[in-house]
Structure 1
Amino acid sequence: MSNIIRKGARGSRYVVHEKTLYVGGQTASDLSAGVAAQVREALGKVDRILVEAGSDRTKVLSAMLWIKNMADFKEMNAEWDQWVDSENPPVRCCGALEMADPRMLFEVVITAAI
């Protein structure tokens, strides 16, 4: 049986299984900020988790991006394009959905190699 590392309470912030990192949904803490700032903050949290787990942006395999309103798609993409490793882009999907908090504008779920 392989070793599984879990970091979190109700739901793990991330799980490591063998050489794969699964990062749970990351959102901004400052929900008064606009979409660009929320995207930057959430991706900053992803960066910290990647480092803690022994990975980095070059090893991101897939990303699910959720936005509250598709009208924010272009602005979200501008921030994503600044963050993502353009030499090693992951598979990606994006959708709009009702968020857990109405002030939340963006959430990201990542899978990465270690």
Structure 2
Amino acid sequence: MNTLTDMISYFGTGNRASLAVTHHGTGYFAVTPKAPYDPSLSTAEQTRQLLDKADLRLAEIGSVKSKLLFVAIILPDMSDYAEMNGVWDEWVGGITPPARACFSAGLASPDLKVEMIMVCATD
């Protein structure tokens, strides 16, 4: 491995972004609920969809949720914080949860109620 590019693995590359990237034993990716986003679903339901996708993405890059290091959770409406946390708490039950931050921001679609950015160990 002679260059930085030789040390990076890209997963599901597209024109704008990769689905995930790994570098030196660390994986990086963002995850959203199942697309197209269904605005009739509650924040809890969208969070379940998102975490199901996260499990698949983690497996794809050779990791599992117990190897998560950090998660940034983005909600367009902080009044949904408790609802999202109920699903999150179930998902991380039985493992040492990662460090995390939760904040409010506008998301790319008005139908999107939650998005997460995850960093994990891959070895």
TM over 0.5: yes
- Give the aligned length: 113
- Deviation at residue 87 of structure 1 after TM alignment: 3.1
Q: In 1, distance between residues paired with 2:82 and 2:23?
A: 34
Q: Which residue of 9, 18, 23 maps to 1:12?
A: 18
Normalising by the residue count of structure 1, what TM-score does the alignment of the two structures yield?
0.92
| Percent of aligned pairs sharing the same letter | 33
State whether residues 57 and 85 of structure 1, in contact with CA within 8 Å, keep that contact through their aligned partners in structure 2. Answer: no
**Does the residue aligned with 1:98 lie in a helix, a strand or coil?**
coil
How high is the TM-score relative to the length of structure 2?
Answer: 0.86
Q: In structure 2, do the counterparts of structure 1 residues 85 and 4 end up closer, same or farther at CA, with 3 Å as the change threshold? A: farther
Determine the structure 1 residue equivalent to 2:70. 62
Instruction: For structure 1, list consecutive stretches of 5 or more residues without a partner in the other structure.
Output: none
**Larger strand percent:** 1
Ranges in structure 2 where 5+ consecutive residues have no aligned partner? none
CA RMSD between the two structures: 1.3
Greater gyration radius: 2
The structure 1 segments of at least 4 consecutive aligned residues displaced by more than 6 Å after TM superposition are none
